Homo-oligomer: A and B are copies of this chain.
Amino acid sequence: MTDARRSGCPINLSLEVLGDKWSLLIIRDMMFGNRRHFRELLTKSEEGISSNILADRLKTLLDEGIITREDDPTHKQKGIYSLTEQGIELLPVLAQMAAWGYKYLPVSEELGIRARLLSEGGPKMWAEFMDELRESHLGVKRRRRTGPSVGERLQAAYERVVARGKATAVK
């Protein structure tokens, strides 16, 4: 737990907080996978994070003010992790990173569909999704919207690809 801070450059400072292979994946799962408990993050992680690393990163993200933790009223041991506004505003970073990865790296079809939709939707869609996150993580009420939310649309698209993949595989 050293002081780090190699320079006052915004990119460097961001990397000192998020520059590892797990932190942004945790944020991703909280945003897109709606994971809010330790176990959910641990077992439903696509990449298989180990529990000590997860505990460590959650602590750091708490310290940095990117997430908060509160007790789950339904279970004395469970904690509910939520994104702060600061955490929610990492969405554009994730979106750009996803778009770049989608374009240049060997992305699987199922896991790439969200990146494609998010990229096509652009900053306007990101802003809408961030508003949805403000509602589910910060409790900020938002005016009624018609039609499915961005979160729902991304999830539906993902499930459609998975179903199609299964059908093809069976055939």
Contact = CB atoms under 8 A, between A and B. Distances in A.
A46 interface: yes
Interface stretch (A72-80, A99-107, A127-135, A137-145): A99-107
A20 to B, nearest CB: 6
A17 B90 CA distance: 19
A125 to B, nearest CB: 14
A31 to B, nearest CB: 10
Interface string A104-118: 111110111001000
Contact of A11 (B19, B98, B106): B98
Nearest to A101: B10
A91 B25 CA distance: 21
A16 interface: yes
- For the residues of A in contact with B, the DSSP-based class is helix
Interface residues of A, number: 48
Given A19-B24, A25-B15, A8 B93 contact: no
A136 interface: no
| Residue from the set A102, A104, A108, A123 with the largest chain B CB neighbour count within 10 Å | A104
A139 to B, nearest CB: 21
Nearest to A116: B10
Interface of A: 5-17, 19-21, 24-25, 28, 46-48, 65, 86, 89-90, 92-108, 110-112, 115, 123
